[in-house]
A and B are shown apart, each in its own frame.
Chain A
Amino acid sequence: MTVQLLLVQALNGLQFGVLLFLVAAGLTLVFGVMDFINLAHGVQYMLGAYLGASLAAATGSFWAGLLLALPAALACGLALEWLVFRHLYDRDHLSQVLATFGVILFLNEAVKVVWGNAPLQVPTPDLLQGGIALMPGLQYPVYRLAILLAGLATAALLWLVIERTRVGALVRAGASNRPMLAALGVDTGRLFMLVFGCGAMLAGFAGVMAAPILSVEPGMGDTVLILAFVVIVIGGIGSVRGAFLAALLVGLIETLGRSLMPDLLRLFMAASPARQTGAALGSMLVYIAMALILAVRPRGLFPARAG
């Protein structure tokens, strides 16, 4: 274990963290503002990846694919909202969970029917090929660095919109006290649609960006969904700032835990059990962290809802 390797893993963790943030941001806003549990948020990420992959293949350019996939993801999100979700806002959480799970089953299977079971490969765009030397002996892929920067830029943009614009103020007000916002004459239905569409687009954006480094396959949204839920619960529901910090934390714990734990345990135990226990413990670490945080702060680190 060298310092370089540690740094590479830390960067990987941060890069995974910003991807998680892009998914979790929409999830936490939808949850915080509308009090709506959307399990189908993970499939928006998957849809984004598939749309990006096939549009990139059709146009022959990753960038064209990315640009076309964003409005397509937005359209898919709005269509789902119009077809299913809007009928669920006034229902209890359990109904929402069940119905959105139905949407997951449908879309996961529909993706198999349309694109097949085999994972799709998306080539890294030419512009971002190769590696860059961050320090002597430390080569890091340009594309992963670009994801990290794009994610941070999106987070900054989101922060600006939410903290500095009128729409953002409405969103924050909705997360804090929705009935009051409606009583003040704000059309919460339209606000919901806007938040929902943007959330779907952000998740889709994360999917397109992840496509070249992860395999694009049915069910890829499920793992991300669970981790994104972990993120929003740790961060505090409805809080974008909490989601951002929690996403980086979860990304780091997940990546570093999985890669370092076996080596760490080898200091105390024999190689073979260390590898196994380490792998299990590394995968568990995120959940242990969440259980600890919830045991101490049941409402997460930065709860948005007042009272």
Chain B
Amino acid sequence: MARVLPALVFGLLAAAPFLGLGQGWAMTLLARGMILAIAALSLWLPVGGAGLVSLGHAAMLGIGAYAVVVLDDARVTEALVVAPVAIAAAALFALATGAVAIRTAGVQFIMITLAFGQMAFFTAASLSAYGGDDGYTLYGRSTVAGARWMQDRLGFHYLCLGLLVVVFLGIRMLLASRFGRVLRAARENPLRVEAVGLSPYPYRLVAYTIAGGIAGLAGFLLANAAEFVAPSFLAWQRSGDLLFMVILGGLGSPFGAVLGALAILALEEWLGHLTPHWRIIFGPLLVLAVLYLRGGLVGLIGARRG
């Protein structure tokens, strides 16, 4: 079950527009879910893969989104230009802040990434040329090689799905490589990794930078999905939400991040229809999930198989 689950979920997402989920609101929700899944995957790499718990990940997403804003304001809307810029900007931010943050560990790492995230948040809020606190509405979605198929609901749906699959497979390949093995070994026991003559620091920094780049891609998609970007994209609560998706899904496998993102979004949507005070149900559910769902959603499925 755990082996075929990713293929099953991706297949369902591909078929969703033809399974009665083709209406506007459902497609919007699905696109949002897949983008958040990419974002959660990018956070899974440092958290689950390298053991670096970041509470500033929304900043990378936000930087990707603001790259779209800055270029949109300069009338550059070609995705083949915008997306690489968004990815590079977020990766650069990750590289610069990671170089400092990875010197610490544990809760200090959580706090220092939070600090960098807050700096990015307040910077975004002060960008009066791009709406400041109120945010910025894009002129329109990016074009791909001049074509406007990101405007098309189905086109955008399959673009998000395709990128999600590519990111998921890429992270899995990265983990299976020599690089990934060093990363995981350093998560389990950094001392032993040093004892065999490897320094964890550069491996962690590269992983953190890659995570930043992927988050920048998610930010690019998020800006295009909403056609609107605001500093609240970078708020620390957003970083928290992403972290909860990753933890709820399960740290044992990158697919946990995808499941966590989709599950939390679906649960929010469903409970939101039941009552405006849906958090009063959602909060205790989270507590129960932690107490009884050890290993996250992925662990639940794995346990049932065995």
Interchain CB contact under 8 A, A287 and B119: yes
Interfacial chain B residues near A295, Cβ < 8 Å: 100, 103, 112
A to B contact number (C-beta, < 8 Å): 119
Minimum CB–CB distance for B190 against chain A, Å = 14
* Interface residue tally for chain B (C-beta within 8 Å): 42
Q: Determine if B115 is an interface residue (Cβ-Cβ < 8 Å).
A: yes
Which of A50-58, A61-69, A88-96, A125-133 forms part of the interface with chain B?
A: A88-96
Q: Determine if A270 is an interface residue (Cβ-Cβ < 8 Å).
A: no
Question: In the complex the two chains form, what is the Cα distance from A233 to B111 in whole Å?
Answer: 7
Q: Determine if A81 is an interface residue (Cβ-Cβ < 8 Å).
A: no
Interchain CB contact under 8 A, B108 and A233: yes
Q: How would you classify the secondary structure of chain B's contact residues: helix, strand, loop or mixed? A: helix
Residue of B nearest to A37 (CB): B107
Minimum CB–CB distance for B241 against chain A, Å = 9
Question: In the complex the two chains form, what is the Cα distance from A281 to B53 in whole Å?
Answer: 26
Interfacial chain B residues near A88, Cβ < 8 Å: 290-291
Interfacial chain B residues near A230, Cβ < 8 Å: 111, 115
Residue from the list A94, A106, A290 in contact with B112, Cβ < 8 A: A290
* Interface residue tally for chain A (C-beta within 8 Å): 46
Q: Determine if A145 is an interface residue (Cβ-Cβ < 8 Å).
A: no
Interchain CB contact under 8 A, A95 and B107: no
Interchain CB contact under 8 A, B244 and A284: no
Question: In the complex the two chains form, what is the Cα distance from A91 to B114 in whole Å?
Answer: 23
Q: Determine if A135 is an interface residue (Cβ-Cβ < 8 Å).
A: no
- Chain A window 16-47, contacts with chain B (Cβ cutoff 8 Å), 1 for yes, 0 for no: 00000000000000010000010000000000
Question: In the complex the two chains form, what is the Cα distance from A287 to B28 in whole Å?
Answer: 36
Question: In the complex the two chains form, what is the Cα distance from A287 to B53 in whole Å?
Answer: 18
Interchain CB contact under 8 A, A108 and B279: yes
Q: Determine if B36 is an interface residue (Cβ-Cβ < 8 Å).
A: no
Q: Determine if A299 is an interface residue (Cβ-Cβ < 8 Å).
A: yes
Q: Determine if A181 is an interface residue (Cβ-Cβ < 8 Å).
A: no
Q: What are 5 A-B contacts defined by CB distance under 8 Å?
A: A93-B107, A105-B283, A106-B283, A287-B119, A291-B100
Which residues of B pack against A, CB within 8 Å? Answer: 47, 53, 100, 103-108, 111-112, 114-116, 118-119, 122-123, 125-126, 128, 132, 236-237, 240, 243-244, 247-248, 251, 277, 279-280, 282-287, 289-291
